[in-house]
Amino acid sequence: MKKYVILLCCLAAVLILSGCSSLPKEIEPQSLTFANMKMKHAREAQKRQEFARALLLYKDAYDLFTRLDFIGGKINSSLSIARQFFYLDKPEEAKQWLNKASDLIETHMPRLETSRSILLMEMAFAKKDYKKVIDIAEQAIATAQEQNLEWQTEILCYAMVAKAQLRLDYQGEFDRVQSVIIQLQKKFEKRKTDDPEVLGFAYYYTGYIYSTFEKDWSQALVFFEKAKEIDSLIDNPYGVGKDLYSLGRCYEELGFFRKAVSSFDRAVEVFALLDDAEMVEKAKKRAESVRKKIPIK
């Protein structure tokens, strides 16, 4: 009897030790999954311009990545945290997190320097510092071409618009953006793109160039329609609102006043849901102005 008791105790000990030895393997993927889920939810909040909520989620993700010492995750979440602080008008906090990411990139993952450069371009673009945008783009584009089509597209778009704003020659970037859009669209259709939002971004800013600088409203309409299609598919409501407003401008310039009013009214509804009072007012005024141009039957 004692032999059986001893045998059972040994078996129990083996099972317990086996369970303990497998524990880290179970925790690590689970923690990584939670961290990636936090990043996903944060990106969704960011699309809705809910920067404070996105910030909290990105910080949660950073903590989870830190527990695992997952360097790539720490870098990406740090850059995202810096972005939220920037849009929350907290430049010092944004700088701190940007520096944190920069240190990790320089020490461990130099290939992610392009991701940091894109954030710096985004910040400079938001502040209308177009000269800085162009300077960063010139340094980053060569590396981006070797690494990632999405990064390449984003850099080209920023450089294209920045040059146009400064009345510099943007034709090179303009042609290249339209070329990479074709490649990116194919990746999107095959569900192979790493960042589908960039495709909507590229369509939108190509339409912006056609409308604002080329004054080719028909061609602009085509690109804004594609931007709206992509932004709707990927659940990017702020992008949809901007696309609708831009479509309204195209329809207005082309003399399709009823379609213009409809686009502006729908933009009002989207921006109202996003609590963007400035864009609601802007779209409302545009709709009221164009409504007066519709012939009375």
DSSP annotation string for 114-144: HHHHHHHHHHHHHTT-HHHHHHHHHHHHHHH
Give the CA angle between residues 221, 137, 65 to the nearest 5°.
100
- The topology (CATH level 3) of 29-108 is 1.25.40
In contact, 58 and 88? CB cutoff 8 Å:
no
Give the tens place of pLDDT for each residue, 66-104.
999 999 999 999 999 999 999 999 999 999 999 999 999
What pLDDT, on the 0 to 100 scale, is given for residue 191?
87
pLDDT along the chain (297 residues), means of 10: 43 41 48 93 94 98 96 98 98 98 97 95 98 96 79 96 98 96 93 90 98 98 98 96 99 98 98 96 98 88
Cβ neighbours of residue 186 under 8 Å, at least 6 residues apart? Answer: none
**E strands, the chain, in order:** none
Residue 285 buriedness (CB in 10 A; 0-12 / 13-18 / 19+): exposed
Residue 110 is classified by DSSP as: G
What predicted TM-score, i.e. pTM, was given to this entire model?
0.87
What pLDDT, on the 0 to 100 scale, is given for residue 145?
66
With H, G, I as helix, E, B as strand and everything else as coil, classify residue 275. Answer: coil
Provide the residue type at 250 as one letter.
Answer: C
| Cα separations in angstroms, 46 against 35, 81, 150 | 16, 11, 19
In contact, 196 and 234? CB cutoff 8 Å:
yes
Distance (Å, whole) CA 194 – CA 24: 29
Distance (Å, whole) CA 207 – CA 77: 31
Domain ranges in the chain are 29-108
7 token code pair: 């045998």
19 token code pair: 């369970």
| Chain centroid to CA 41 | 13
Distance (Å, whole) CA 98 – CA 114: 13
In contact, 91 and 82? CB cutoff 8 Å:
no
Neighbours of 156 (CB within 10 A): 26
